[in-house]
């Protein structure tokens, strides 16, 4: 059994991939989860209101696609959410990444912005909801504000780190070759910081999506978060769970897309 | 990069810039609110916030004084966080050292992970009602994931040479686990705990915003309904302060428990 | 071509709480036009600092640094620097790296082609123009770095242990290469190295520096010897074997190892090591 220990210790850390010989365990885990769920749901131990079975959830999911609930169909709600997310995230990235880079490159920018940034950063994005409601009502501005406050810090922080981690030698080499400040930023700093920037974008997207859901629990009248809150008020648990599944899927897809983007950028960057 | 000597003021200049910008923003804030450029019903001025501070500290608001609200919120965060730490870290370590356990638990984890913790709030309310248990459940869930992932990664990235050295010295599996893998994984475990704590706090505020009897989140939502922007700002400030304080406290614990670290 | 002059240069660093660290203590040195001067010394003697002062990447605390009669104020392509770790831009191809300085100058892509191609050929990089640095060996990367500097036809070439990260064989190849290049296109060179052998083989004069605070122990003439014995016409293995070469090398080695020197007297009076006192 000590053999096991060295086996896992000697392999490089792989995130969430089990070697081929272990797939029976994965399958077993997968099956066990659904079997357990199904059994408990239909055993009568818990009322259907509390724990609907997987079949009920799937049914609710497709029903939401066919019939409107709380004003719109599932697709329409999802579209609403996605648009808000896109706006909020893109604004956060467009403002955050350049700011982070500038802070990393020029100490004085860092000095000026840092204190204020650190103070605001610790305000949980969700805490902006009351102001969002006050300032924007149920308009799109509210969710965008909240998404922004969730996605903005990682974009800034990672761009900052990326800029700082660019080898000073490279910047010096560029200086000795006669590069202007602008050229240094565009041809040295940004390419050098790209991996960190993209990592920041991925984290920012994750946090932004989460913040969106939080916002949609409260200050909106459409969207997937709205769906699950309405489902809860109506005691329609299958709808709540179906909504959660939809949220999970979209979040997953966003991450996959960003990973692909990361892959593409890194390949273009060093032709490997 | 070129540094010019004779700029002895550098050490003083830097914090000065930071303070100047903060002071500048504050003055701008006063200016905007006093001249009425911004609608006072929607945007609080310094005096509004001060007024709210007095009220919350004194007679109280939304069911209690400042102390009470903070105490209430913090209690829930602490409970949720502790549950998450005591379940997430050991499970993560287990998954890290035992590939079979990892393979078995993985699918469940992969399926559940993309669902943001906040999305569990309505379900938690359906299951447990509006009380404390629902909150603790959601906090637990939010904090559990980072603790687990980071403990797992921490264990997996322990230098294999160290483990080999332990085996050469005749250490048993349990000894290797507790004397090499756990201490080696501690830095990442703490990173996970830090993320857990932040997630706990964020989730609690969200849960309280959706529906609660007490707490800072409740203060926020009542203040929104009452259109009391001063109180909103004041409560937000406390959310930020407490978040920062908890992170700092954890950092202290982290430093103490890893005396061998230089960073 | 320009000459480099260090006039009574002192470079010290403030440390909070402690006394200042003196990296260079009253250095006066002139590198004549087209002269190849090597600097050797123990770690921490300030030789890299000296080079950075000439490059404009650092500034003296007191004293002046002149290149071509003008005081050094900022880095620039007239004083090209070759770094030990190559400092090639990882996301640019060989061609793009070499052409970078010309691009900064404002040359169009078409105008850049000829000089870049020329130096690719001169440095033996043919066939690798579109490769990325990580795809090349250490030796090739350093060739790219040298080409990148040379293509700008700089007045002054500053080289900071450029062959330090190469293996022994590649190192010798690069030394021969550099000699060839220097004959083909001579410029003022300031060359930092740990290797006494390298210094003697390449330089007209070798400056020997002392431990911190950095001072010049002695300047050793090599050019005369090289000329008399026609080293440039002989293969490197033969030169390294010559008695004159070995003698010179040993002499410099002794200078480096000998702790006493011009502050030998002070050492004897105060055998305890103290933080360097500023005279």
Look up the ipTM and state it. Answer: 0.79
Euclidean distance between CA atoms A121 and C199, whole angstroms: 55
Any C CB within 8 A of B248 CB: no
Which residues in chain A are closer than 8 Å to B156, comparing Cβ atoms? 8-9, 11, 13-14
Summarize pLDDT for C63-81 with one digit per residue, the tens.
999 998 889 988 988 899 9
B11 contacts C16? CB cut-off 8 A: yes
C93 contacts A177? CB cut-off 8 A: no
Q: Let me know: does A140 contact A223? Beta carbons within 8 Å.
A: no
pLDDT tops 90 at residue C275: no
The pLDDT score that the predictor gives to residue B111 is 81
The pLDDT score that the predictor gives to residue B263 is 54
A171 contacts B1? CB cut-off 8 A: yes
pLDDT tops 50 at residue A9: no
Per-residue pLDDT band for C193 (boundaries 50, 70, 90) equals: very high
Question: Best of A120, A124, A149, A184 to disrupt the B interface by mutation (most B CBs within 10 Å)?
Answer: A124
Structure tokens at C208: 């020997």
Any C CB within 8 A of B7 CB: no
Summarize pLDDT for A161-174 with one digit per residue, the tens.
999 888 889 999 99
C91 contacts A178? CB cut-off 8 A: no
C57 contacts A270? CB cut-off 8 A: no
Question: Best of A3, A125, A126, A207 to disrupt the B interface by mutation (most B CBs within 10 Å)?
Answer: A126
Q: Which of B158-172, C213-227, C250-264 has the highest mean pLDDT?
A: C213-227
Q: Picking from B205-209, C129-133, C269-273, which range would have the lowest pLDDT averaged per residue?
A: C269-273
Any C CB within 8 A of B170 CB: no
User: How many CA atoms does the CB half-sphere of B208 hold within 13 Å?
Assistant: 31
- To the nearest whole number, what is the mean pLDDT of chain C? 85
B5 contacts C61? CB cut-off 8 A: yes
On the question of a cis peptide bond just before residue C213, with omega within 30 degrees of 0, the verdict is yes
pLDDT tops 60 at residue C32: yes
Which residues in chain A are closer than 8 Å to C81, comparing Cβ atoms? 172-173, 176
Which residues in chain A are closer than 8 Å to C67, comparing Cβ atoms? none
C134 contacts A172? CB cut-off 8 A: no
pLDDT tops 50 at residue C194: yes
C75 contacts A176? CB cut-off 8 A: yes
Find the DSSP H helices in C123-242. 138-150, 168-184, 196-202, 223-229, 236-241
Which residues in chain B are closer than 8 Å to A249, comparing Cβ atoms? 114
A229 contacts B122? CB cut-off 8 A: yes
| Residue C109 to residues A178, A181, A271, C101, C106, Cα–Cα distance (Å) | 17, 21, 21, 12, 9
Q: Read out DSSP for B212-253?
A: -SSSHHHHHHHHHHTT-HHHHHHHHHHHHHHHHHHHHHHHHH
DSSP single-letter state for residue C45:
S
Any A CB within 8 A of C81 CB: yes
Cα of A86 to nearest chain B Cα, Å: 17
A240 contacts B173? CB cut-off 8 A: no
The pLDDT score that the predictor gives to residue B11 is 61
When CB atoms are compared, the residue of A124, A168, A210 closest to B205 is A124
When CB atoms are compared, the residue of A170, A177, A194 closest to C77 is A177
B157 contacts A129? CB cut-off 8 A: no
Cα of C50 to nearest chain A Cα, Å: 15
When CB atoms are compared, the residue of B4, B8, B11 closest to C59 is B4
Percent over 90 (pLDDT), chain A = 27
- Radius of gyration of the CA atoms of chain C, in A: 20
**Least CA distance to B8: which residue of chain C?**
C14
Q: Let me know: does A31 contact B103? Beta carbons within 8 Å.
A: no
Cα of C75 to nearest chain A Cα, Å: 5
pLDDT tops 60 at residue A11: no
User: How many CA atoms does the CB half-sphere of C97 hold within 13 Å?
Assistant: 33
Any C CB within 8 A of B4 CB: yes
Summarize pLDDT for C79-118 with one digit per residue, the tens.
999 988 888 998 899 999 999 989 988 889 999 999 999 9
Which residues in chain A are closer than 8 Å to B18, comparing Cβ atoms? 111-112, 114-115
User: What's the maximum distance between 2 C-alpha atoms anywhere in chain A?
Assistant: 77
A249 contacts B114? CB cut-off 8 A: yes
Q: How many residues does chain C have?
A: 279
Close Cβ partners of C106 (under 8 Å, ≥ 6 residues apart): none
Euclidean distance between CA atoms B47 and B234, whole angstroms: 11
**Least CA distance to C11: which residue of chain B?**
B5
Q: Picking from A7-21, C191-205, C247-261, which range would have the lowest pLDDT averaged per residue?
A: A7-21
Summarize pLDDT for B35-82 with one digit per residue, the tens.
877 777 778 888 888 888 888 887 777 778 888 888 888 899 999 999
- Give the predicted TM-score (pTM) of the model: 0.77
Which residues in chain B are closer than 8 Å to C14, comparing Cβ atoms? 8
Q: Let me know: does B253 contact B110? Beta carbons within 8 Å.
A: no
Q: Let me know: does A255 contact A202? Beta carbons within 8 Å.
A: yes
pLDDT tops 50 at residue C202: yes
The pLDDT score that the predictor gives to residue B60 is 76
Cα of A47 to nearest chain B Cα, Å: 10
The pLDDT score that the predictor gives to residue A13 is 45
At CA A131, angle to CA B71 and CA B222, rounded to 5? 45
Euclidean distance between CA atoms B199 and B118, whole angstroms: 10
Per-residue pLDDT band for C147 (boundaries 50, 70, 90) equals: very high
Q: How many residues does chain B have?
A: 263
Structure tokens at C16: 């909070």
C104 contacts A183? CB cut-off 8 A: yes
Cα of C128 to nearest chain B Cα, Å: 31
A177 contacts C104? CB cut-off 8 A: yes
- To the nearest whole number, what is the mean pLDDT of chain A? 84
pLDDT tops 90 at residue C5: yes
Q: Let me know: does B172 contact B183? Beta carbons within 8 Å.
A: no
Cα of C93 to nearest chain A Cα, Å: 8
Summarize pLDDT for A12-53 with one digit per residue, the tens.
444 444 456 777 888 888 888 888 888 888 877 777 677 888
Place of tokens 């004897």: C268
Assign C7 to helix, strand or coil: strand
Structure tokens at C262: 């011009």
- Residues in chain B with pLDDT values less than 50: 1-9
The mean pLDDT of C58-62, rounded to a whole number, is 91
């Amino acid at each position: 059994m000590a053999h096991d220990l060295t086996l896992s210790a000697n392999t490089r850390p792989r995130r969430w991939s089990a070697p081929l010989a272990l797939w029976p365990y994965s399958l077993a885990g997968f099956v066990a989860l659904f079997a357990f769920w199904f059994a408990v749901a239909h055993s009568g131990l818990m009322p259907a209101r509390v724990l609907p079975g997987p079949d009920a959830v799937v049914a609710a999911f497709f029903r939401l696609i066919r019939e409107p609930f709380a004003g719109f169909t599932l697709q329409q709600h999802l579209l609403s959410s996605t648009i808000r997310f896109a706006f909020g995230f893109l604004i956060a990235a467009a403002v955050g990444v350049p700011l982070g880079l500038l802070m990393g490159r020029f100490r004085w920018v860092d000095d000026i912005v840092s204190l204020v940034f650190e103070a605001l950063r610790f305000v949980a994005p969700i805490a902006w909801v009351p102001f969002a409601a006050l300032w924007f009502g149920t308009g799109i501005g509210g969710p965008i504000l909240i998404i922004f406050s969730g996605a903005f810090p990682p974009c800034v922080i990672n761009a900052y780190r990326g800029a700082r981690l660019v080898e000073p030698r490279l910047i010096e080499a560029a200086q000795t070759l006669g590069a202007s400040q602008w050229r240094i930023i565009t041809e040295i700093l940004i390419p050098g910081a790209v991996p960190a920037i993209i990592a920041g974008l991925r984290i920012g997207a994750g946090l932004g999506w989460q913040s969106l859901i939080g916002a949609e629990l409260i200050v909106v009248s459409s969207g997937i978060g709205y769906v699950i809150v309405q489902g809860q008020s109506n005691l329609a648990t299958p709808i709540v769970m179906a909504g959660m599944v939809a949220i999970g899927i979209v979040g997953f897809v966003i991450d996959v897309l960003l990973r692909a983007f990361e892959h593409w950028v890194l390949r273009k960057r060093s032709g490997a | 990069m070129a540094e010019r000597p004779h700029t002895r003021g550098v050490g003083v200049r830097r914090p000065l810039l930071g303070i100047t910008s903060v002071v500048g923003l504050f003055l701008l804030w006063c200016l905007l609110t006093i001249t009425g450029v911004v609608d006072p019903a929607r945007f609080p001025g310094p005096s509004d916030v001060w007024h709210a501070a007095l009220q919350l500290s004194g007679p109280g608001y939304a069911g209690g004084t400042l102390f009470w609200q903070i105490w209430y919120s913090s209690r829930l965060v602490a409970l949720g966080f502790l549950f998450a730490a005591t379940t997430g870290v050991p499970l993560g370590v287990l998954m890290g050292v035992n590939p079979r356990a990892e393979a078995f638990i993985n699918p469940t984890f992969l399926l559940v992970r993309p669902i943001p913790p906040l999305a569990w709030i309505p379900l938690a309310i359906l299951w447990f009602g509006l009380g404390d248990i629902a909150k603790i459940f959601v906090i637990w869930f939010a904090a559990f994931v980072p603790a687990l992932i980071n403990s797992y990664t921490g264990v997996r990235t322990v230098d294999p040479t160290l483990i080999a050295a332990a085996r050469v010295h005749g250490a048993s599996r349990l000894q290797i686990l507790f004397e090499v893998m756990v201490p080696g994984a501690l830095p990442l475990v703490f990173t996970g705990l830090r993320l857990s704590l932040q997630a706990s706090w964020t989730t609690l505020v969200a849960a309280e915003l959706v529906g609660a009897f007490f707490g800072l989140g409740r203060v926020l939502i009542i203040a929104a309904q009452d259109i009391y922007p001063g109180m909103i700002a004041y409560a937000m400030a406390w959310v930020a302060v407490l978040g920062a304080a908890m992170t700092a406290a954890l950092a202290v614990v982290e430093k103490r428990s890893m005396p061998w670290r230089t960073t | 071509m320009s000459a480099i002059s260090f006039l009574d240069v002192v470079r010290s660093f403030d440390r909070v709480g402690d006394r200042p660290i003196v990296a260079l203590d009253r250095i006066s040195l002139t590198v004549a036009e087209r002269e190849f001067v090597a600097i050797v010394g123990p770690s921490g003697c300030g030789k890299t600092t000296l080079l950075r002062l000439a490059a404009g990447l650092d500034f003296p605390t007191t004293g002046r640094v002149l290149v071509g009669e003008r005081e050094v104020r900022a880095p620039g392509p007239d004083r090209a620097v070759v770094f030990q770790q190559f400092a090639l831009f990882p996301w640019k191809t060989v061609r793009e790296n070499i052409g970078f300085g010309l691009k900064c100058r404002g040359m169009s892509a078409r105008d850049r082609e000829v000089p870049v191609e020329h130096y690719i050929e001169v440095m033996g990089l043919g066939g690798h123009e579109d490769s990325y640095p990580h795809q090349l060996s250490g030796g090739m990367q350093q060739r790219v770095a040298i080409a990148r500097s040379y293509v700008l036809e700089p007045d002054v070439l500053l080289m900071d242990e450029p062959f330090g990260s190469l293996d022994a064989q590649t190192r010798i190849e690069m030394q021969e290469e550099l000699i060839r290049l220097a004959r083909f296109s001579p410029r003022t060179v300031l060359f930092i190295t740990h290797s006494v052998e390298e210094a003697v083989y390449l330089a007209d004069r070798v400056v020997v520096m002392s431990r911190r605070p950095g001072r010049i122990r002695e300047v050793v003439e090599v050019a005369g010897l090289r000329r008399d014995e026609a080293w440039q016409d002989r293969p490197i293995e033969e030169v390294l074997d010559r008695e004159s070469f070995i003698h010179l090398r040993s002499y410099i080695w002794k200078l480096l190892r000998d702790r006493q020197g011009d502050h030998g007297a002070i050492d004897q009076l105060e055998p305890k090591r103290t933080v360097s006192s500023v005279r």
